[in-house]
């Protein structure tokens, strides 16, 4: 049931009041952003008004929780100077994301926002937004707690207290040990520091062994996710080509990347664009969907062409028209299973070049196994249904052939697209559907014309 506008406004105002006045509140900026989005559905101008009335710090934190298309709206409601003030409040990774989203809409405004920032902050953000969308540096946060290798633990902890009191640092669970030249030497959980005396130096900890895993700023972000997963890390250090510590990628960004990657694959397999679907213009969404529907239409015509080759066969035996959809449907579903598993394993890095043959063989064996089981089942049903044992043999053989092709091409197509530097999730579904339809119809009708007529 949709919340009424007065009730929604009251809930929003109470949430803001609880957040700003109660330090122990469980209200999170995300909760307030969700209320604002609901308000936006009622009245967009009122939504922008309530957003602008939030306290500055909360406004910045709520803004970064809002979807990307909402960041574009602030251009029409906030001045570049106001956006710069909000950017100053955010952590560098969130600030860079906001600037990057604004830049996609209006580069001039994004540049004006950057020019309104202090020189040091501007240089940091310019460096972050200079990285490619799929590079680790684009997701990096420069705020972190580091300590020199020859520094006393007590001295570094006092510095951490000052940073926390000034609200210059949050979500700290690691201390990054560096040399005086800034080279990354390893990371240590903060909990380990309580076991040591304040006079001890970090170099003593290094002798006992520390976590030295780090990623380069130019590494593909998918490799960063795999690194975090493989080593059970919630935070990953980022270094430059020479090994100097640049920043860190935190768990919230890692989770977001995992979700975005999974969502993107789901959209691509369905032949739609995540970015397009977030646009408000129905025309824009419809145009993108129409492109893939057009391709599907062409492939459907190709499959119909195969049926047309056997029109005389179908006319002489109407039962073939009744059973044709079964062959195509089973092949399509089996292919989709194989395709989904293969694409997902490739995204997770579970399939490399050397594993391709093993992957194909496994999927072919599974397809043949299921093909034989369901071939026997549909063969018996079709033979009894139309009182034609040979018809059961035809559809059974066709079922085995089509499920074999579904398993083979369902694994081969994404692997070939990957080798050609094409996203396997984008075109695999259309190609596979074409293959299973054509093979299914051709094998079924071809065998029928040979065996039954």
Is the CB of residue 176 less than 8 Å from the CB of residue 187? yes
Question: Residue written as tokens 């197509």?
Answer: 413
Is the CB of residue 382 less than 8 Å from the CB of residue 395? yes
Tens of pLDDT, residues 143-164: 999 999 999 999 999 999 988 8
Tens of pLDDT, residues 255-264: 877 777 666 6
pLDDT value at residue 48: 87
The more confident residue out of 422 and 183 is 183
Residue 272 has pLDDT above 60, yes or no: no
Check if CATH label 1.10.357.20 holds for domain 274-451. Answer: yes
Tens of pLDDT, residues 21-39: 775 557 888 899 999 989 9
Q: Produce one character per residue of 110-144: b if its CB has 16 or more CB atoms within 10 Å, e if not.
A: bebbbebbeeebbebbebbbebeeebbbbbbbbbb
- CA 212 → CA 164, 171, 239, 323, 417, distances in Å? 25, 20, 11, 61, 35
pLDDT value at residue 426: 65
The pLDDT confidence band at residue 433, using thresholds 50, 70 and 90, is confident
Q: What angle do CA 443, 445, 450 make, to 5 degrees?
A: 90
What contacts 88, CB < 8 A, 6 or more positions away? 95, 117, 118, 121
The pLDDT confidence band at residue 288, using thresholds 50, 70 and 90, is low
Tens of pLDDT, residues 226-236: 888 888 888 99
Residue 280 has pLDDT above 80, yes or no: no
The more confident residue out of 208 and 100 is 100
Q: Give me the DSSP letters along 232-262.
A: T-SSEEEE-TT-BEEEEE-HHHHHHHHHHHH
Residue 356 has pLDDT above 80, yes or no: no
Tens of pLDDT, residues 404-417: 999 999 888 888 88
- At the second CATH level, the architecture of 5-133 is Alpha Horseshoe (1.25)
Residue 240 has pLDDT above 90, yes or no: yes
Q: Report CA torsion sign: 423, 426, 427, 428.
A: positive
Average pLDDT over residues 360-368: 88
pLDDT value at residue 136: 92
The pLDDT confidence band at residue 381, using thresholds 50, 70 and 90, is very high
Q: How far is residue 241's CA from residue 256's CA, in Å, rounded to a whole number? A: 26
Mean pLDDT of the chain: 84
161-165, 205-209, 251-255: segment of lowest average pLDDT = 205-209
Tens of pLDDT, residues 115-142: 989 898 899 999 999 998 889 999 999 9
CATH topology of domain 146-252: CBS-domain (3.10.580)
Q: How far is residue 124's CA from residue 91's CA, in Å, rounded to a whole number? A: 11
pLDDT value at residue 213: 93
Tokens of residue 266, six digits: 């789901």
> What is the percentage of the chain residues whose pLDDT exceeds 70?
89
Q: How far is residue 188's CA from residue 175's CA, in Å, rounded to a whole number? A: 5
The more confident residue out of 420 and 190 is 190
pLDDT value at residue 338: 87
Question: What phi and psi, each to the nearest 5 degrees, are found at residue 342?
Answer: -65, -45
Q: Taking the domains of the chain in order of start, what are their residue ranges?
A: 5-133, 146-252, 274-451
Average pLDDT over residues 90-104: 88
Q: Produce one character per residue of 25-57: b if its CB has 16 or more CB atoms within 10 Å, e if not.
A: eebebebbbbbbebbbeeeeeebbebbeebeee
The pLDDT confidence band at residue 354, using thresholds 50, 70 and 90, is low
Average pLDDT over residues 433-447: 90
Q: How far is residue 53's CA from residue 50's CA, in Å, rounded to a whole number? A: 5
- Residue 425's H or E segment, with its range, is helix 424-451
Average pLDDT over residues 160-183: 88
Tokens of residue 29, six digits: 């900026």
């Amino acid at each position: 049931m949709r919340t009424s506008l007065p009730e929604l406004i009251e809930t929003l105002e109470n949430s803001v009041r609880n957040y700003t006045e109660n330090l122990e509140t469980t209200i999170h900026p995300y909760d307030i952003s969700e209320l604002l989005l609901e308000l936006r559905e009622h009245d967009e101008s009122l939504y922008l008004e309530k957003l602008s009335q939030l306290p500055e710090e909360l406004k910045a934190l709520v803004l970064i929780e809002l979807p990307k298309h909402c960041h574009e709206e602030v251009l029409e409601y906030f001045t570049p100077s106001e956006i710069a003030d909000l950017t100053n409040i955010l952590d560098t990774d969130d600030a860079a994301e906001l600037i990057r989203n604004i830049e996609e809409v209006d580069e001039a405004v994004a540049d004006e926002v950057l020019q309104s920032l202090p020189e040091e902050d501007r240089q940091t953000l310019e460096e972050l937004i200079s990285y490619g969308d799929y590079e680790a540096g684009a997701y990096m946060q420069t705020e972190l707690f580091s300590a020199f290798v020859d520094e006393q633990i007590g001295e570094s902890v006092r510095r951490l207290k000052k940073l926390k009191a000034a609200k210059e640092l949050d979500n700290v669970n690691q201390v990054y040990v560096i040399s005086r030249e800034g080279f990354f030497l390893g990371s240590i959980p903060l909990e380990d520091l309580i076991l040591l005396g304040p006079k001890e130096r970090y170099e003593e900890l290094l002798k006992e062994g520390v976590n030295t895993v780090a990623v380069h700023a130019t590494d593909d972000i998918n490799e960063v996710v795999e690194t975090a997963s493989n080593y059970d890390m919630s935070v990953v250090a980022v270094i430059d080509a020479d090994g100097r510590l640049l920043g860190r990628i935190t768990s919230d960004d890692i989770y977001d990347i995992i979700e975005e990657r999974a969502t993107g694959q789901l959209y691509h397999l369905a032949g739609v664009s995540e970015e397009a679907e977030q646009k408000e213009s129905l025309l824009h969404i419809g145009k993108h969907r129409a492109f893939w529907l057009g391709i599907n239409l062409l492939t459907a015509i190709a499959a119909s062409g195969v049926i047309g080759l056997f029109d005389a066969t179908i006319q002489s035996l109407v039962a073939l028209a009744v059973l044709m959809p079964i062959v195509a449907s089973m092949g399509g579903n089996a292919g989709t299973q194989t395709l989904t598993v293969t694409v997902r394993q490739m995204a997770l890095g579970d399939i490399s070049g050397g594993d391709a043959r093993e992957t194909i063989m496994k999927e072919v064996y599974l397809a043949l196994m299921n093909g034989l089981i369901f071939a026997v089942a549909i063969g018996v049903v079709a033979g009894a249904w139309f009182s034609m044992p040979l018809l059961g043999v035809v559809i059974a053989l066709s079922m085995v052939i089509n499920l074999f092709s579904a398993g083979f091409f369902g694994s081969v197509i994404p692997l070939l697209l990957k080798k050609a530097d094409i996203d396997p999730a984008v075109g695999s579904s259309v190609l596979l559907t074409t293959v299973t339809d054509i093979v299914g119809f051709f094998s079924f009708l071809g065998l029928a014309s040979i065996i039954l007529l």
